[in-house]
Structure 1
Amino acid sequence: MQPDDIFGEFSFDLLGPLEFRTKGQEVPIAGVRQQTLLALLLLDAGKTISGSRLIEGIWGGRAPETAEAQLRICVSRLRRRLADGGLRNVISTESQGYRLNLPESRVDVHRFRGALEHAGRAEADGDAAEAVRLLRAALALWRGPAAEGLTGPLVRAAAARLDEERASALERCFGLELQLGRHHRIVPELTASAAEHPFRERLQSQLITALYHSGRQADALNAYRDMKRRFAEELGIDPSHRLRALEVKILKQNPELKDEDSALSHNAQTRLALLERENASLRAERQRIGRLMARLMGPHGARVRS
């Protein structure tokens, strides 16, 4: 990988919609194939990616017979576009595929993961405040769902992992904030995050704990009961033992109430995260169908004739 200081002022962002910015200006990358190709190269910046993997990432299981030739054309066009933004010769052709020769510091995904590693070291050293600072710096890089708008199967799989890393980083950050006694400060953020991830038990537990320690016992109990009803209606399960124990502690006004990790197994957490994504997709599909029906029916409910 080339040294950072030989490049000008630029950055690539995947924690949200794909963006290439140079000198503060966005350089559009036209075409879904070029965008997907760039995303795949960015995810493994500095590493050679085989042509077959890039073809799979761009076309999935529907690659045409001319896929290799089309991939070469796509790479050539992407090279020209990056050169327009001041980055020449950053995509090299290797014997086994292609490599994007960029410092990881210029890609927000790698800056995010680097900050998480530093936060982990600070937490291990007992410096909760520094760990929070680093986690917040990492989370501030996000502008929306990872690789938003890109549909290639490999990109979507990587985006799902990144979204999970973000949610886990949120939980770590809130957990440390609670340890530092910042209950009042984080209630608004926790409320929004718990609504965004309604089936992540640790976030729900953290919100309930923060409300309780902010002198809002009734709101804490209401948050627990709303969550219990949501789990029953949408997932057909009860909250974990630890969350049920949390409700008992609130009712008893236990002064030692603390944030605790969910007792759910890793497989159960994965299943809940999957269900959450599926529910979000279903809601989006219902909204799309609703908009389509509204257009078909016209402004007064009458079907529009074609």
Structure 2
Amino acid sequence: MAVDDRLRFEVLGEVRAFRAGLPVDLGPAKQRAVLAVLLVQAGRPVPTHQIVDAVWGDEPPENGANVVQKYVAGLRRALDPDRAPRTPGELLALTGSGYVLRTADAVVDADEFQAAVKRAAAERAANHPLEAASTLRGALALWRGDALAGLGGSVFEAARIRLADARASAWETWAEIGLAQGRAAMIIPELTQLVAEFPLREGLRAQLMLALHQAGRQAEALAVFRDAREYFLDEFGAEPGEKMQEAHRRILRSEPAPPPDAPAPSIPVQAQVSPTAPPPARLPPVYWRPSNQRASIVEVLFAAIVPLATCTMASWSYFLYAAVRRRDRAQFITAAVYFVLLVFGVSLFVIDPTGIDEEASAAETLGVFILLPLAISAAVHGAVVAVRTGDYERAKTLREQARQFATFDPARAVEVGVGRPDILSRPFDDGGLVDVNHLGPYELSQALKLPLAQAQQIVFDRERRGPFVQPGELVSRELLSERVVKRNAYRLICIPLTSQREPAANS
């Protein structure tokens, strides 16, 4: 059997490359990350500044373009060793729009996975469920862990979520086939592990309930629903969605489990709900969990009083507290600056001490001129920082949860108001997300501090050219500057529209 000497790229785990079955040395971690950026957008040019943003984030090197060029050269030597020196790269080429990795003659495990999922769908449609289940297991065996493992940043995280969603969907299809074939007892252990791995996938939880029900274990099936309800209420303040509600109703009514080869019951797609319209009767209730991002008066007073009360001796303490609580490097630096100035000011008194009746020395006078303004500055500065509550870790966690919620169930996310600061009675705190696909011009203007005319232009472009897929399109469509989008990137989200056309809110 001939050995396939084509390049093989793997991203369903740590990023790796092979030639003729042998691993390719991809070089240092940053060089491997540059390859990952190009693999995520294989076949499309990626501008150098986007590679820098993806790999280095908020800490880019001073000569980012030169560093990327150096790593690309290293990748060319590793991936295309037969290329003559100083000749244009064919596999990894430089175009007018950026670097492009051409994988038409290579194999990428993520592409193999997607192709196998499509093949399984065709086999299932042709009434070959066992072949479809086998194909899906082969596709899922390609996964070696989390996609793009070890790589951080918004670009890799978005790709990781997208691939994880496809993986969870494949598992759901595999479980559906198993249930239809009456193999509930065989798939229950695996479904149990999958629910722990993908806690946000209500489809997997519903299938575990139905499998337990099919196996005659109704009490355990109801316990799965209770655990899920507690989880969703604790994390999002929302009841489980329609899939789990339907499975729960069937178990409560003691309806027989679907017989082998029976088609799965159709679940109606949740329709878009207007923010001003009452929710449909079939929707489960949601519960308000208010945000906790307002400034604490105790914190403000602490920040303002401590420097003055301690004669500037503790001028640095609040900034250290804010740095630890907010995980903000800038506040660590601020605390260090205040501490260094304090030490310097005090040292002036130690260098040239004088008695009470003696005239103050020049060093002591300088010390007074340093410490007195330092106390006042620390008090005012600390109060300002305390009032601006900042981006606490809790808010980051809430945003990440809400983003995953919106990825797995966009219709439900729209219903409960993810990214909609204009809805006062939202069911849970999303950490301050702003959904550019559902907010009206006035709300966008307020949320992003934009001129109203500019926000109106965003809504008009959205209506004319379709919803945004990612925040970067605000730049490519020339609606916002790259600086504005980068400044707000941590809270921008683009939830897909759940109907063909939805009027902008309050437009």
TM-score by length of 2: 0.48
CA pair 122-27 structure 1, distance change in 2 beyond 3 A: same
Give the counterpart of 2:77 among 77, 80, 87.
80
Gaps in structure 2 of 5+ consecutive residues: 274-400, 409-507
CA gap of 1:177–1:226, structure 2 versus 1, over 3 A, is: same
User: What is the CA distance between 1:232 and its match in structure 2?
Assistant: 2.5
Q: C-alpha distance in 1, partners of 2:242/2:97?
A: 52
Whether 2:56 is the aligned partner of 1:59: answer yes
The equivalent residue for 1:207 is 208
Q: How many residues align?
A: 271
What is the CA-CA distance between 1:132 and the residue it aligns to?
2.0
Matched, 1:97 2:95: no
Are 1:205 and 1:259, in contact at CA under 8 Å, matched by a contact in 2? Answer: no
Distance change >3 Å, CA 42–CA 261, structure 1 → 2? farther
Cα distance, 1:266–1:79 mapped onto 2, change above 3 Å: farther
Alpha-carbon distance between aligned partners in 2 of 1:34 and 1:219, rounded to the nearest angstrom: 49
Name the CA distance, whole Å, in 2 between partners of 1:69 and 1:47. 21
5+ residue gaps in structure 1?
278-306
Structure whose residues are more often helix by fraction: 1
* 8 Å contact from structure 2 (residues 214, 257) kept in 1: no
Q: What corresponds to 2:358 in structure 1?
A: none
Match of 1:119, as an amino acid? A
Q: Deviations over 1:198-253 (max 9, x none)?
A: 23211111001011111222221222222222222333222235533433422332
CA RMSD in angstroms, aligned pairs only: 3.3
Which AA in structure 1 matches 2:217? R
- State the identity %: 32
8 Å Cα contact 2:188-2:212 kept in structure 1? yes
* Greater RCO structure (CA 8 Å; 6+ sep): 1
Structure 1 residues 274 and 252 mapped into 2: Cα distance closer, same or farther (>3 Å)? closer
Residue 404 of structure 2 is aligned to residue 273 of structure 1: yes
What is the rounded CA distance, in whole Å, between the counterparts of 1:127 and 1:177 in structure 2?
A: 13
* Equivalent position SS for 2:52: helix
**TM-superposed deviation, 1:92:** 2.2
Query: Is residue 190 from structure 1 mapped to residue 191 from structure 2 by the alignment?
Result: yes
Partners of 2:266 and 2:244 lie apart in 1 by 9
Larger Rg: 2
More displaced stretch, 54-63 vs 135-144: 54-63
Q: CA deviation at 1:94?
A: 2.4
Match of 1:292 in 2: none
Range 117-126 or range 35-44, more displaced? 117-126
Aligned partners of 1:242 and 1:260 also within 8 Å: no
Q: Distance in 2 between matches of 1:250 and 1:144?
A: 34
Question: Partner of 1:48: helix, strand, or coil?
Answer: coil
Note if contact 1:198-1:276 (Cα within 8 Å) is conserved in structure 2: no
Q: What's the counterpart of residue 231 of structure 2?
A: 230
CA distance change for structure 1 residues 87 and 141 in 2, over 3 Å: closer, same or farther? farther
Letter in 1 for 2:128: D
Matches of 1:274 and 1:40, distance apart in 2: 25
Residues in 1 aligned to 2:69 and 2:58: alpha-carbon distance in whole angstroms: 19
Residue 31 of structure 1: aligned partner: 28
- The alpha carbon displacement at 1:119 in A equals 2.2
